[in-house]
Amino acid sequence: MNTSWDQVNEQILACRNCPLCEHIHNKVPGQGDPEAALMFIGEGPGQDEDLQGLAFVGRAGQLLTKMIAAMGMTRDEVFICNIVKCRPPMNRVPEPEEAAACMPYLRQQFALVRPKVVVLLGATAARYILGDHIRITRDRGTFVYKKGVWFMPTYHPSALLRDESKKKDAWHDLQQVMAKLKEISDEGSPAETV
Ligand code: URA
């Protein structure tokens, strides 16, 4: 069945599949270009996101906005969302059952956006998407190609705020993402005729 954006958002807003929704102010479905070639997936909403109902709008989000700008894009040109759409209490890592309960929404978002490249922000996003074997310090910076999509695990912006020395590696990862997007769009454009 093809689910529309309105249907996914309605389902998220009505969702009571796990206990995370019991203490939140707002669901945070995610936002951006519904046909973006590039998607960012974080862990889960924090306090600012919970209050505004928007993904990545707090301190980490402001850094993410700068990172996207450094890539030559705006937030409106990409799609930004999280593994879980409700803020975990005290910003703890979402439990496997919570991530599993929310995964159908991410799958539906994926099916609608059909991104070409996905940046997995931090260990939680990388492990829930690519598997438990992922170690972010070891595996960041290396693309994983899965079902026609290029996944790039990198540091979460919160990790970059805690430890600025990681920024150089994160920028290296994002440069690879830019190169991959260019490569894909060059492949897609018609051959030049002289
Ligand atoms: N951290 C996340 O993982 N997601 C957000 O939306 C905000 C902070």
CATH number of domain containing 42: 3.40.470.10
Ligand 1 probe mutation, 52, 81, 82, most atoms within 8 A of CB: 82
CB of 50 sitting under 6 A from ligand 1 = no
pLDDT number for residue 188: 81
Q: Is 13 inside any structural domain?
A: no
Q: Is 5 inside any structural domain?
A: no
The CA-atom distances, in angstroms, between 127 and each of 35, 116, 191 are 25, 19, 39
Q: How far is the CA of 98 from the centre of ligand 1 (A)?
A: 16
| Low-confidence stretches of the chain (pLDDT beneath 50) | 1
pLDDT digit string, tens, across residues 125-172: 999 999 999 999 999 999 999 999 999 999 999 999 999 999 999 999
For the chain, what is the radius of gyration of the CA atoms? 16
Check: pTM over 0.85? Answer yes or no. yes
pLDDT number for residue 191: 65
* Strands in 27-75 per DSSP E: 31-32, 38-42
| Ligand 1 atom with minimal separation from the 125 CA | 3
Q: Is 22 inside any structural domain?
A: no
Tell me the residue range of the domain where 72 lies: 28-186
pLDDT number for residue 189: 74
Q: Is 81 inside any structural domain?
A: yes
| Ligand 1 atom with minimal separation from the 121 CA | 3
Q: Is 124 inside any structural domain?
A: yes
CB of 29 sitting under 6 A from ligand 1 = no
β-pair partners for 168: none
Report residue 15 as tokens: 């969702």
CB-based contacts of 166: which residues, under 8 Å, 6+ apart?
155, 159, 160
Q: How far is the CA of 187 from the centre of ligand 1 (A)?
A: 33
The number of residues in the chain equals: 194
Q: Is 121 inside any structural domain?
A: yes
Q: Is 21 inside any structural domain?
A: no
Q: How far is the CA of 88 from the centre of ligand 1 (A)?
A: 11
Q: Is 44 inside any structural domain?
A: yes
How many domains does the chain divide into? 1
CB of 40 sitting under 6 A from ligand 1 = no
* Strands in the chain per DSSP E: 31-32, 38-42, 79-82, 117-121, 144-146, 149-154
CB of 128 sitting under 6 A from ligand 1 = no
